[in-house]
């Protein structure tokens, strides 16, 4: 009997120690989980939300951007016809004047017929960029450097316009506008192909 009594405190102490250890482990696990949750919340708060997608282009936006592109390419073509040195650049410039003027007239007629007032999307920077390019063309002296600057811009510009034409055709609501874009796309592709061919010739010594 005495031995049993002597053993009980040891057993009680063992059980108490085990319970305390388990409790401590549980507290540590809970603290770790809380810390992880806090860290995740802080990371989520620190990560900026992705910007909302731009609004879909309206027919007024499409007509305004197409008119701006056609006006810029026609004006640049006039510069190439007068400031270009290589015969191919001069001829290409004259083609730009003719084709893009015709495309611009067609777009303006459609806008009038459909009673659409062209309006650029909010924050659109195309006009400012084209103006800067035009200023650079006027400031660059005639010669091989001018020809290269011009045709390089025609390549990148027509690649951009082709991509926009695809987007515009997908977003256009007016059936005549959609048809006009689809009709003009092969002409833009032809301009791009010819610009690349001239670019390659100018790069060959």
Nearest Cα to Cα of residue 150 among 88, 205, 105: 88
Q: What is the DSSP string of 45-76?
A: HHSPPPPPPPPPPPHHHHHHHHHHHHHHHHHH
Residue 140 DSSP class = S
Angle between helices 144-171 and 126-139 (to 10 degrees): 170
pLDDT at 5: 40
* The model's pTM: 0.72
Higher pLDDT, 169 or 32: 169
pLDDT at 1: 46
The model's pLDDT over 57-105, given as tens digits with 9 standing for 90+, comes to: 999 999 999 999 999 999 999 999 999 999 999 999 999 999 999 999 9
Higher pLDDT, 185 or 35: 185
The model's pLDDT over 31-69, given as tens digits with 9 standing for 90+, comes to: 665 655 665 555 555 566 666 566 689 999 999 999 999
């Amino acid at each position: 009997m005495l031995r049993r009594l002597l053993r009980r405190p040891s057993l009680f102490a063992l059980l108490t120690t085990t319970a305390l250890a388990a409790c401590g482990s549980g507290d540590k696990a809970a603290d770790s989980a809380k810390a992880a949750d806090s860290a995740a919340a802080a990371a989520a708060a620190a990560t900026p939300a992705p910007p909302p997608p731009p609004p879909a282009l309206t027919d007024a936006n499409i007509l305004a951007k197409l008119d701006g592109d056609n006006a810029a390419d026609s004006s640049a073509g006039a510069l190439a016809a007068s400031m270009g040195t290589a015969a191919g650049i001069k001829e290409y410039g004259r083609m730009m004047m003719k084709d893009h003027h015709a495309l611009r007239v067609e777009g303006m007629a459609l806008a009038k017929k459909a009673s659409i007032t062209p309006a650029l999307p909010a924050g659109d920077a195309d006009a400012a960029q084209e103006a800067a390019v035009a200023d650079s063309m006027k400031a660059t002296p005639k010669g091989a450097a001018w020809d290269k600057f011009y045709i390089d811009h025609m390549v990148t510009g027509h690649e951009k316009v082709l991509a926009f034409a695809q987007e515009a055709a997908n977003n256009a609501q007016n059936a005549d506008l959609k048809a006009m874009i689809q009709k003009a796309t092969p002409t833009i592709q032809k301009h791009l192909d010819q610009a690349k061919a001239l670019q390659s010739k100018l790069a060959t010594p």
